[in-house]
Amino acid sequence: MERLTIDTQPIEGQKPGTSGLRKKTKVFMQPHYLENFVQSIWEGIGGVEGKTLVLGGDGRYFSDRAAQVILRMAAASGAAKVIVGQGALLSTPAASNLIRKQGTDGGIILSASHNPGGPDEDFGVKFNNPNGGPAPEEVTNRIFEATKTIRKYHILEAQDLDLAAPGSHDLGGMTVEVVDPVADYAELMEELFDFDAIRAMISGGFRLCFDAMHAVTGPYAKEILERRLGAAEGSVMNAVPQPDFAGGHPDPNPVWAKELMEVMHGADAPDFGAASDGDGDRNMIMGPGMYVAPSDSLAVLAANAEAAPAYKGGIKGVARSMPTSRAVDIVAERQGLDSFETPTGWKFFGNLLDDGRVRLCGEESAGTGSDHVREKDGLWAVLLWLNILAKSGKGVVELMQDHWRTYGRNFYSRHDFEGIETERANALMDDLRVKLADLPGTTVSGRAVEAADEFSYTDPVDGSVATAQGIRIYLDGGARIVLRLSGTGTTGATLRVYLEDRSEDPATFDTDVQDALKDVSAAAHEIAGIEHHTGRTEPDVRA
């Protein structure tokens, strides 16, 4: 096998965003595009010589090709070993687990998460550190710098390896070990949760429905929920991963998880419904006729985590991304837990978890997780919910209502305005920045502005600083508006407007969320001039 050194030129725009580099698949398929980025990863992590890496992803279109290229490039640069999920499949949390469990030097995850897949849709590449978590900004900055100066990359000339079956291969002196993507992960889940209690609940007649959305969690959910926990066959739907997710958006929210919504709002709804995203790190939780907002889910999990064996001794602290509602802060305050507010993106939780300051974290975008891995974890959240339900004997609806009665309710919704011209979106944020200092003391749509700022975060563990992480506007009565631009999109800009209002009056708890947030939404439109800047009056998605 010959080791080739290929001449190349820097390609613009290879800057990793909230979660790795995401582009249209066709962009990734351009000559040298993937290779440039992968060589820059090697550069950014100080080379791969003698190192062991994990490789896998959500199985989207182009993953099989990309995996072969990455293996040949790792071999050409002297890596000792790459552990690959069978069929190049690994959910993001399972990849994180393998990286940690095998003590490897990190891993590469091929995914664009909840974005659609296919030749005309999205692809993505992300590097995770030896702790199993997404590379922090210090590393992604080095990778980006390398993409700007790259002149050569190294690749082995070799035949494709057979990744379809478990086993060991030699690739120019590097070992490629193909492993069952599910086994280690399922074992970890058995260690964390009381499977006996969940099994007993299910055999007692508790019914559930899990929508894998034709994405990577299908085989995981089949093994864990149906085989190990005894849920009826067919409880997991859309369970076979497909390269284009059957043409859908594998995004677990009320808009895209329509099939699950219909089941859970149907006459014969099961007791519990859930869905996960393309790469298995997000979760959506439902009870019969009820959608549980991710921010509420985080608060409920924090309040009840001790039901699971893994969290019996307490969870010490919790962290949430800044736009996530403050429902979990109230739980932390009442239970004497430390709480942290971090920028959007899982990479900012890594140090807090590594340092033992928090055990649970979450984001409003349907991400929840703990210190068992260093990624958010969809099936983990499902299992923690099931464990809590099994121990408490309550249903989802009852548990949620009890929670609100105890802690009050934080009404919450995110409004997304998609496909805005980048300059117009930037102009909206720039104008807002200029206005911030003058907002406190004014009244907008009947609500008094108490404070306003742009969020900067200083990591309490290593002192690193992240600036310009979104604008926060605090209104009277515990309401808040947050505005930021998405860092995961592949076309134009997406403006995210996060709305929150608080009530402690049980008579209001059943109010429709959008109705409850009407005046906060009106205030957001007025303050940010959304129509003026974007021409839009209505969002594309209300999550």
Residue numbers of the site for Co ion (CB under 5 A)?
113, 277, 279, 281-282
Separation between Cα atoms, residue 234 and residue 226, nearest integer Å: 8
Q: Where in 466-495 is the site for ligand VG1 (CB under 6 A)?
A: 486-488
H or E element at residue 497: strand 493-503
**Distance of closest approach, residue 17 Cβ to ligand VG1, in angstroms:** 6
Closest C-alpha among 48, 129, 56 to residue 90 = 56
Q: Where in 300-329 is the site for ligand VG1 (CB under 6 A)?
A: 321
**Distance of closest approach, residue 406 Cβ to ligand VG1, in angstroms:** 27
Q: Which of 281, 296, 329, 377 binds ligand VG1 (CB under 6 A)?
A: 281
Q: Where in 141-200 is the site for ligand VG1 (CB under 6 A)?
A: none
Separation between Cα atoms, residue 220 and residue 191, nearest integer Å: 16
How many Cα atoms within 13 Å fall on the side-chain side of residue 399? Answer: 29
**Distance of closest approach, residue 46 Cβ to ligand VG1, in angstroms:** 25
The contact mask relative to ligand VG1 for 337-366 (x = CB under 6 A, - = no) is: -------xxx----------------x-x-
Q: Which of 40, 52, 113, 370 binds ligand VG1 (CB under 6 A)?
A: 113
496 binds, among ligand VG1, Co ion, none (CB under 5 to 8 A by kind): ligand VG1
Size of the site for ligand VG1 (CB under 6 A): 18
Secondary structure class of 180 (helix, strand, coil) = coil
State which residue, 195 or 340, has the beta carbon closest to ligand VG1. Answer: 340
238 binds, among ligand VG1, Co ion, none (CB under 5 to 8 A by kind): none
Catalytic residue among 19, 63, 111, 113: 113
**Distance of closest approach, residue 44 Cβ to ligand VG1, in angstroms:** 19
State which residue, 134 or 181, has the beta carbon closest to ligand VG1. Answer: 134
Query: Does the CA dihedral 391-393-398-402 come out positive or negative?
Result: negative
**Distance of closest approach, residue 414 Cβ to ligand VG1, in angstroms:** 8
**Distance of closest approach, residue 91 Cβ to Co ion, in angstroms:** 9
Q: Where in 3-32 is the site for ligand VG1 (CB under 6 A)?
A: 18-19
282 binds ligand VG1 (CB under 6 A): yes
Using an 8 Å Cβ cutoff, are 246 and 238 in contact? yes
State which residue, 18 or 401, has the beta carbon closest to ligand VG1. Answer: 18
Using an 8 Å Cβ cutoff, are 529 and 487 in contact? no
Closest C-alpha among 302, 20, 54 to residue 144 = 20
**Distance of closest approach, residue 95 Cβ to Co ion, in angstroms:** 12
154 binds, among ligand VG1, Co ion, none (CB under 5 to 8 A by kind): none
Separation between Cα atoms, residue 424 and residue 492, nearest integer Å: 10
State which residue, 18 or 129, has the beta carbon closest to ligand VG1. Answer: 18
Q: Which residues contact 526 (CB under 8 A, 6 or more apart)?
A: 444, 445
Separation between Cα atoms, residue 265 and residue 493, nearest integer Å: 33
Separation between Cα atoms, residue 134 and residue 150, nearest integer Å: 23
Separation between Cα atoms, residue 517 and residue 499, nearest integer Å: 7
Q: Which of 100, 114, 415, 480 binds ligand VG1 (CB under 6 A)?
A: 114
Separation between Cα atoms, residue 511 and residue 280, nearest integer Å: 31
Contacts 24+ apart (CB under 8 A), 32-36: 32/6, 32/8, 32/153, 34/66, 34/69, 34/70, 34/125, 35/6, 35/8, 35/69, 35/73, 35/153, 35/155, 36/8, 36/10, 36/11, 36/147, 36/150, 36/153
345 binds, among Co ion, ligand VG1, none (CB under 5 to 8 A by kind): ligand VG1
Using an 8 Å Cβ cutoff, are 206 and 191 in contact? no
113 is catalytic: yes
96 binds ligand VG1 (CB under 6 A): no
Residues that bind ligand VG1 (CB under 6 A): 18-19, 113-114, 277, 281-282, 321, 344-346, 363, 365, 367, 486-488, 496
The catalytic residue positions are 113
